[in-house]
Amino acid sequence: MASYDIRPLQLHILEILLAIDKMCREHRLRYYLAAGTMLGAVRHKGFIPWDDDVDIAMPRKDYDLLMQHCKEWLDAPYEALFAENDERYPGNFAKVIDSSTTLIERAHHSYVGGVYVDVFPIDGMTANPLKQRIHFAQYSFYNKMIYMLCRDPYKHGHGPSCWIPLLCQKLFRRRDMQQKLLRLQKKYSGQDQPLVVDHDFGIKGIMDEAVYGTPVEVTFEGHQLYGVEQADRYLKQLYGDYMTIPSGEKQRQHNFYYLDYHLPYRQYVDTREFVNDHPSTEASV
């Protein structure tokens, strides 16, 4: 369980979500509450009680528009972070953060940002099962490489477990891996494909575009926000018997390493040794 009071964090994240909703309505961008946030809307009319983040998903066209115009469309202190506008950013999806806060997800991970909402692109996907498996094998490889390039190589000590991340950090550039990953994610987008995918769920995230459909208003923490059109079908595919409360050991949460609601993340002084002595992830391939 988290070592901090989770409710203030939820309410802080909610303010970011409401700012995103306002911006999307103003600029006619489609978004959907996604993953555990959509589940929370259906089962709890708000946050899952132990959940400490929010996920939304956007069709690739809308997602790209947001990324192109985020500086002008998002009011301070909110900003969108993604690999194309921040070379240090490790994700294959965007985050809308509150830049007046500081949040570090894990002690062994180098990235420092703010309290956030995750924004996942919804991409096209081939209906060919073999091509799907090859696609996600590549996706998993690039994802793992990016993780290796961002983590403390000595997370598990100075023995053989550090050799692979150290070698990766010597040979590869994070930006190259992210560009390869982005091209892979967009491979089938814009084509006449019957299926779409939220890559974060892997093959399980492949579904008919009609499942997302036209955004439908749902109640979340007393506010009307947009969810997927076929919520039952969506949630059954991702979670199975989604209305049953999972047992305690399956109630997943992040328990973030560092959280400060009053310190802008750009002012945070990172004293972790592996960050300051990080091998060059900008070395040539």
- What is the pLDDT, as a whole number, of residue 278? 53
The torsion angle over the Cα atoms of residues 268, 272, 276 and 278, rounded to 10 degrees, is: -130
Element housing 19 (H / E): helix 6-27
> Does the pLDDT of residue 254 top 70, yes or no?
yes
- What is the pLDDT, as a whole number, of residue 129? 95
- The pLDDT tens digits of the residues spanning 21-51 come to 999 999 999 999 999 999 999 999 999 999 9
> Does the pLDDT of residue 277 top 70, yes or no?
no
How far apart, in whole angstroms, are the C-alpha atoms of residue 52 and residue 29? 25
Between 160 and 210, name the one with better pLDDT: 210
Residue 84, token pair as written in the block: 């194309």
pTM, two decimal places: 0.89
Residue 152, token pair as written in the block: 């403390």
Contact at 8 Å (CB) between 227 and 32? yes
Average pLDDT over residues 169-174: 81
How far apart, in whole angstroms, are the C-alpha atoms of residue 148 and residue 44? 36
Tell whether omega for the bond before 246 is within 30 degrees of 0, i.e. cis: no
- The pLDDT tens digits of the residues spanning 117-153 come to 999 999 999 999 999 999 999 999 998 888 888 777 7
- What is the pLDDT, as a whole number, of residue 280? 42
